[in-house]
Amino acid sequence: MAIDQATVRKIASLARIAISDAEAAAMEGELNGILGWVEQLGEVDVTGVEPMTAVIPNTLRLRDDVVDADPLTGGGRRDDVLANAPAPQHGFFGVPKVIE
C-alpha cells in the first residue's frame, strides 16, 4: 500500500520531526521504495508461527527491592543527571511554558 505526502506528514508528526514540503515530497518516494520492498514478507506462510520475542532464551530477572542497589543506576545523582541538560533550572529540567 503506497503512502502519499499527507501520510508522510502524518508520520513525521507522530515521530515529532519537523519536515518541509520539499522533504515530504522526497521522502514519499524513498519510503514507498522501502515499504514496497519489505512487502514481500507478506508472501511468507506464517500459519501457526509465534512472533519472536527473545532471540536467545533468557528469563527476566528481578533485582532485590533495595534502594540504590547499584550506585550507577540509583538515586542521589541529580547533578550528574542534569549535567548534559540544555536548559536546567533550579535543579530541574527546563521546558518551554506549556500552560496557556
Partner 1 sequence: MTELTNLTVAEIRDGHRAGDFSAVEVAEAFNANVAGAKALNAFIVETPEHAIAAAKAADADRAAGTLKPLSGVPIGMKDLFATNGVQTTAASHMLEGFVPRYESTVSAKLWDAGCGMLGKLNLDQFAMGSSNETSYFGNVISPWKRKDGGNAALAPGGSSGGSSSAIAARLCPAATGTDTGGSIRQPAAFTGISGIKPTYGRCSRWGIVAFASSLDQAGPMARDVKDCAIMLENMAGFDPKDATSLDLPVPNWEAALSSDLKGKTVGIPKEYRLEGIDPDIDAMWDAGIAMLKDAGADVVEISLPHTKYALPAYYIIAPAEASSNLARYDGVRYGLRDLPQGAGLQDMYAATRADGFGPEVKRRIMIGTYVLSAGFYDAYYTQAQKVRTLIARDFEQAFGMCDVILAPTAPSAAFGLGEKMADPLAMYLNDVFAVPASLAGLPAMSVPAALNREGLPLGLQIIGKAFDEQGVLNAGLAIEERAGFTARAEKWW
Shorter beta-carbon distance to partner 1: residue 58 or 90: 58
Q: Are 12 and 24 in contact (CB under 8 A)?
A: yes
Residue 91 DSSP one-character state: T
Q: DSSP 3-state assignment of 76?
A: coil
Residues 6 or more apart in contact with residue 40 via CB below 8 angstroms: none
- Nearest approach, Cβ of residue 100 and partner 1 (Å): 10
Question: Residue 54 is placed in which grid cell?
Answer: 527473545
Q: Is 34 a binder of partner 1 (CB under 8 A)?
A: yes
Using CB under 8 A, which of 67, 87, 90, 91 touches partner 1? 87
Q: Which residues of this protein are in contact with partner 1, per CB under 8 A? A: 3, 7-8, 11-19, 27, 30-31, 33-35, 37-42, 44, 46, 49-56, 58, 60-61, 63, 70, 72-73, 77, 80-81, 83-87, 93-98
